Chains A and B, each alone.
Chain A
């Protein structure tokens, strides 16, 4: 095992999750990479090597069996020093049109699965471990995303409650990104994306590296006095008119 222990990253098969995993590997963590997408095996193969041991785990975190698979793999890995709850989905739609099934699906994946995994892994956290939940600037409100807003806002409360429950042994924090350059935003019509970027005081879209750096900070000893907090990573978007 590496000096900094095992980091479990969910939603690791692509986009932000892969960059977070790569950053944590660079910080000296071994990795347990979790995703519903079997492509997570390729990501693990790319990151495995040198001083980093990276293992894939294909699992559905909305099922008890899927969570049990992750717990078993983490136990085999010798315990958990970092958990990054990054897995998430969107099913956008105006409030008047969104189906209740789509609302429920987003809550189940983004909020309940994260809670279920964190609680299930609790016995495997060592002293000084850290959990980072991926919330969103949208937790403060967003148009056409009532399900996503509720799920990411719910994660904020979960972050606070877990932080208080597990202190001082385990720290729990959240990162709340805004627009980040991922395959999802790359698929937007350029004019729509340009309008959104124009509302960001930083003058640019966030990069996965911007977010991964914050996750790595919150997971590190440098953030030893930070728990129960939500770090907005939005280029100032949460302040702008």
Chain B
């Protein structure tokens, strides 16, 4: 199996002008990977998915989650595998790294794996 592309959500802070480039760049990278038959795991900040961080980063995080869904749906026939793992401020946390490795090697697609328990009792993004 080809090595997965692990793509971390960029942190833009207040850089509203960076949103389009960030999402378009993510789209291009994911597309290139799936066409190269590589699985993809996006690593997203769960706080941004819930809107608990900045406005710009929330738009990017949930936009990237949309990409996971779009690629997974359109990739059913060609067998693309595109998933996401969340963290809460530390993308290098051991549990996050383990989840990324596992999901990247799985046959799953369109999944959102939320590491930790802080998301419980909150909306599903």
B13 located at the interface, meaning its Cβ lies under 8 Å from any Cβ of chain A in the complex: no
Assess the B59–A111 pair: CB atoms within 8 A. Answer: yes
Complexed CA–CA distance, A149 and B69 (Å): 8
Assess the B70–A158 pair: CB atoms within 8 A. Answer: no
Chain A contact residues (Cβ within 8 angstroms of B): what range?
A: 35 or more
B119 located at the interface, meaning its Cβ lies under 8 Å from any Cβ of chain A in the complex: no
Of chain B, the residue at the smallest CB distance from A162 is: B55
B59: chain A residues at CB < 8 Å are 111-112, 115, 154-155, 157-158, 161
B92 located at the interface, meaning its Cβ lies under 8 Å from any Cβ of chain A in the complex: no
Complexed CA–CA distance, A6 and B71 (Å): 40
B94 located at the interface, meaning its Cβ lies under 8 Å from any Cβ of chain A in the complex: no
Assess the B51–A115 pair: CB atoms within 8 A. Answer: no
B115 located at the interface, meaning its Cβ lies under 8 Å from any Cβ of chain A in the complex: no
- Chain A's nearest CB lies how many Å from the CB of B101? 25
- Chain A's nearest CB lies how many Å from the CB of B73? 4
- Chain A's nearest CB lies how many Å from the CB of B74? 5
B74: chain A residues at CB < 8 Å are 94-95, 143-144, 146
- Contact A150-B73, Cβ < 8 Å, known A100-B24, A115-B56, A161-B51: no
- Chain A's nearest CB lies how many Å from the CB of B112? 12
Within the complex, which residue of A115, A149, A159 is in contact with B70, where a contact is CB–CB below 8 Å? A149
Assess the B50–A141 pair: CB atoms within 8 A. Answer: no
B24: chain A residues at CB < 8 Å are 100, 103-104, 107
Complexed CA–CA distance, A226 and B94 (Å): 37
Within the complex, which residue of A103, A107, A140, A228 is in contact with B69, where a contact is CB–CB below 8 Å? A140
Counting chain B CB atoms within 10 Å of each CB, which of A153, A163, A164, A228 scores highest?
A153
Complexed CA–CA distance, A176 and B47 (Å): 22
Residue-wise interface mask of B (62-76) relative to A, using a CB-CB cutoff of 8 A (1 in contact, 0 not):
111111011111110
Assess the A141–B16 pair: CB atoms within 8 A. Answer: no
A140: chain B residues at CB < 8 Å are 69
Residue-wise interface mask of B (33-62) relative to A, using a CB-CB cutoff of 8 A (1 in contact, 0 not):
011000000000000111111111111111
B4 located at the interface, meaning its Cβ lies under 8 Å from any Cβ of chain A in the complex: no
Q: Enumerate A123-158 residues with CB–CB distance to B below 8 Å.
A: 139-147, 149-158
A119 located at the interface, meaning its Cβ lies under 8 Å from any Cβ of chain B in the complex: yes
B91 located at the interface, meaning its Cβ lies under 8 Å from any Cβ of chain A in the complex: no
B16: chain A residues at CB < 8 Å are 112, 115-116, 119
Assess the A100–B51 pair: CB atoms within 8 A. Answer: no
Assess the A141–B69 pair: CB atoms within 8 A. Answer: yes
